[in-house]
Structure 1
C-alpha cells in the first residue's frame, strides 16, 4: 500500500491510514494517535468485535479478537496486518451449503466441542406468543435452520471416537412436537417441558428439539432445547435472527434466502487448529503457566469438598440455588464513565465488584475467575450456530499483579488474558496447567468461580413478539461452586448469583448478592479506595 506522513512527519503506511480512519470513525473522533492504546481511547469489547469483522473485509486479513489486545495501537495493528500478508479469509464463500447431494463424512470437531460432548449440558428456552402463530410454517422454518447448520444435525461420537462427528448426507428432519391445545397455561407448560426435557442422543444426531403448544385462551408457547456441544451464547443471536426470516418465507410459500453460507464442522475444527499455530503460541502458553502457577482454590467459609468423577476431566455439576436481582442503568452510569476514563471495558468493573464480593463474604483474596469467551473468527464462522467458546482465567490478586487497586489489577489481568487466549481454544491447555501432576489433566471447575455474560434471546414471528417464558435458566445445577450470570438489556443488567448447595449453605447466594449490590451502589472510586 502507499505511504503517507502524519502531521508530525512520521511515515504511515496505507494500511495504517485505513486502520486509523476505521477506528476514528468507530470512536467518533477526527483522528487517532498512532501510538496510544485503542483501549485507552475508549475501545470496548463490543466495538472490538465489529472492528475485527470490518478489518477483515477491508484488508483480507483475518483479525482475531485477541490480536487487538496484543497490538492495541493503530501503528502496531497496521504493522501486524502488513506482516501477515493475507489470511485464511472466508474460503469458498460461493460454495453450496451442506445438503443431501454429498456423501456422508466423518470429520473432526473442535477441542471445546469434544470436551463438551460427554458433559450433557442442555440449554433450554421458551417464549409465549399472544397472537396467531402458524405452526406448520414454524416447523418448516425450524427445518430450514436445522439443515443450514451442520452442528444441529451432526452425529457426535464419544468413547474412543470422541472428537469426531459424522455429518450425514441427508440432514433429516428437525424434531418438532406439535402438542395440540391445553385448557390452561399450567397444563400447557407441564406437557411442554415434559416433552422438551426428554434426553437428547447426540450419537444419533438428536442434537436439538422444538415444541409448540396452545392454550384455550389463545396463547401459544414455543421453545427448544439444544445440547451445548452444538450451541453457545452467540448462537442465540443467530437462531433468533434466522428463524423469523425462515418463518416469514414459509408463510409466504417460499424458501428462505440467507445472507451467506455457514461454516462446516470441519472448517470450525481447522480454524481452531490454525489458531493454535499462531506465532506466539509458546509465549501464550508461558503466560498461562506463569499466571496460574500454584493457583489456589476459592475457599470460602463453610465450604464442603465434593468428589470428582473418576475418568472425567471436568468436575461434575451439583445442585445450586439462585439469587436473582437487577442493576439498572442509573446505577451503572458512574461505572461506565469510570471505564471510559480509565480505558477499560465495563465488564472489568463488574468482574472486580464480583471478586470483591467474594472477599467481603470471607473468601481468600487470591483465586481464579473463569470467564467463557466467544471465539469469533471471521464472518462465516460468526454467523454459524455452533459452540465456539473458549475460557480465560483472571487472577487479579495473584503474585504477578502489581499496584494496590482492584480495578487496575483486573484491567491488567483482563488485557493480558485476552492477548494470550488463542491457545485456550483447546481445553487441554488449561487442564494441563491447572491440574499439575494429574496425568488426566482434570479441570476442577468447582475450585474456581465463574462469570458468564449472556444475551437476551428475544424472538418475534410474523410481527408477533414473544415474551420469554419463566423457567429459562441454567441455574438448577452448576459445575462451579459460585457463578454470576449477567444478561445485559436496554435498561441495565439482569443477574443470577448461583451457589452450590452441596458445597455451601443456601444463604450464601443472597449474602453475595447483598455485597455486590452495595459495591455497585458505592461506585468504582470507593472500591478503589477500599482496595488500596
Structure 2
C-alpha cells in the first residue's frame, strides 16, 4: 500500500529524471524487478523492517515528481510491504503478477512495490518492483546489499537506527543543475555541438535503411566463442592500452563496416557512471545512452580499438542525457523518435536477484515474469558480449522482420575474428 507523508524538501529533477519524465519517455512502462521463490525460515517482520530501513537510508525511494523540472522528497517511506497467502503456486504467481505488471504513475506517490505471498512457513514468493526513474543497475545492486545487511541485523534483534544519506540524490540533482549552468556545462555543450556537426544527431542509425516487413519478430542469436575468448580480448585490450569494453565495441563497429561497406559507423552503449565529485555512493538514476563511433577502416585491429577507446573516453567524460539537455540549451542534439541501429554491452547486464548469499539460510529460485507493455526496439540490434564462465558467447537480439539474418551473422563473425584472431 502506498502512503503519503509530510514533504521535507523540494528541488530540481536530475537530468536523467527529466529525460524519463518528458517526451516519449514519459509513457514508458519501464521497471526493474526481481521475483523469487524463497525456501527456508523467512522472518516477515524482519523483511518489513529491513525494507523500511532501505527506504530511509536512500532518499531516492522517497522521491516524487511535481513536474519534469521539480521533485520533492518525503520524510517517510512511500511504499510498504504487502503480505498475502496462497493455497497453490499458481495462485501465488497470479498474485505477484498483479503486483509486478501494472505501470507506475509518475505523477503519483510511491514508485516501488514489495510483496510476499506465503505458501507455507518455509516457502514464500517474494517480489521487489521499482520504476526505472529511481533506479539503475548500480543502484539496484546497492539497494539489495542494503536490504541484506538490514535484514540480517533485524533478525538478530539489532535496532535499525534511522539513517538518511548525507550525500543524497536530492543534493546531486541540485549540484548537477548548478554545474550545468556554469563552465562544466559550457564545456559539455561545446563538445556535443561539435559531435552533432561531425556525426549527425544522436542516436547513430544503422547505416542501411531496410523495409519493415510485417509485425516485429524478436530473434535471439547466440554465437559461441572459444573457451579462451576472454583471455584473447584482454590481451588485445592490454596491447592497445584500452579497456575490454572498448575492444569489443570496436570489434562490433568493425563488423558493421564489413557488413555494410560504410566507413563511418556508430553504436550506443549504456553508461552508468557517476561523473560529478561525491556521487559514487549515491543511489538513483544515473544511466545514460551514449554513442561510440568508428570513422576509419583499418587493417589493424589495434588502430580501431585505440580510435574507439579515445572516443569512448571523450563521450564518457562529457556524458549527459542529450535530448533534455539539448532542450535546455536550445540545441538539437538527439532524436527522440529514432532508434539507434546497434547497442553494445559487455558482461551480463541483468540485475542482481536474490540468492543464498543474500539472505542467510534462505534458498532462492529466480522466476522470470514477462511484463506486457514494456518498450521494444524493432530497428535496433542489441549485441552483448558475455566472456565470463565456461561458455563465452556473443548474443544478438534483433527484429527479423527488419534486419536480414545474414547481415547479423556477418557482423558477429567479423567481430569475433577482429577481437580473437591471433594473427596480428
TM-score when normalising by structure 1: 0.64
Measured on the aligned residues, the alpha-carbon RMSD in Å equals 4.1
Query: Aligned to 2:136, which of 204, 215, 232?
Result: 232
CA separation of 1:442/1:273 partners in 2, compared to 1, >3 Å: closer, same or farther? same
Quote the residue 1:136 is aligned against.
45
Deviates more, 1:174-183 or 1:276-285: 276-285
Deviates more, 1:466-475 or 1:445-454: 466-475
Quote the residue 2:92 is aligned against.
188
| Unaligned runs of at least 5 residues, structure 1 | 1-99, 307-317
Q: Is residue 281–residue 422 contact of structure 1 (8 Å, CA) maintained in 2?
A: no
Deviation at 1:408, TM superposition (A): 2.8
Q: Is residue 38–residue 125 contact of structure 2 (8 Å, CA) maintained in 1?
A: yes
Q: Is residue 275–residue 317 contact of structure 2 (8 Å, CA) maintained in 1?
A: no
3-state SS of the aligned residue for 2:11? strand
3-state SS of the aligned residue for 2:144? helix
Deviation at 1:299, TM superposition (A): 4.1
Quote the residue 2:70 is aligned against.
164
Deviation at 1:432, TM superposition (A): 6.7
Query: Aligned to 2:33, which of 107, 124, 144?
Result: 124
Deviation at 1:388, TM superposition (A): 1.3
Quote the residue 1:412 is aligned against.
307
Deviates more, 1:277-286 or 1:409-418: 277-286
Larger radius of gyration: 1
Kindly indicate whether residue 217 of structure 2 is the aligned counterpart of residue 323 of structure 1: no
Deviation at 1:273, TM superposition (A): 2.9
* In 1: Cα distance, 2:291 partner to 2:369 partner: 29
Query: Aligned to 2:286, which of 388, 391, 394?
Result: 388
Deviation at 1:474, TM superposition (A): 11
CA separation of 1:187/1:114 partners in 2, compared to 1, >3 Å: closer, same or farther? same
CA separation of 1:329/1:192 partners in 2, compared to 1, >3 Å: closer, same or farther? farther
| Unaligned runs of at least 5 residues, structure 2 | none
Deviation at 1:455, TM superposition (A): 5.5
3-state SS of the aligned residue for 1:172? coil
Deviation at 1:125, TM superposition (A): 2.0
What are the equivalent positions in structure 2 for 1:86-125 lying under 5 Å apart?
A: 104-117=8-21, 118-120=26-28, 121-125=30-34
Deviation at 1:420, TM superposition (A): 4.6
Q: Which structure is richer in relative contact order (CA contacts within 8 A, separation 6 or more)?
A: 2
Deviation at 1:404, TM superposition (A): 4.8
Deviation at 1:222, TM superposition (A): 1.8
* In 2: Cα distance, 1:492 partner to 1:257 partner: 45
Please give the per-residue CA displacement for 1:97-121, whole angstroms capped at 9, x wherever unaligned.
xxx8x85232111111111132432
Quote the residue 1:518 is aligned against.
413
TM-score when normalising by structure 2: 0.78
Quote the residue 2:383 is aligned against.
484
* In 2: Cα distance, 1:305 partner to 1:205 partner: 42
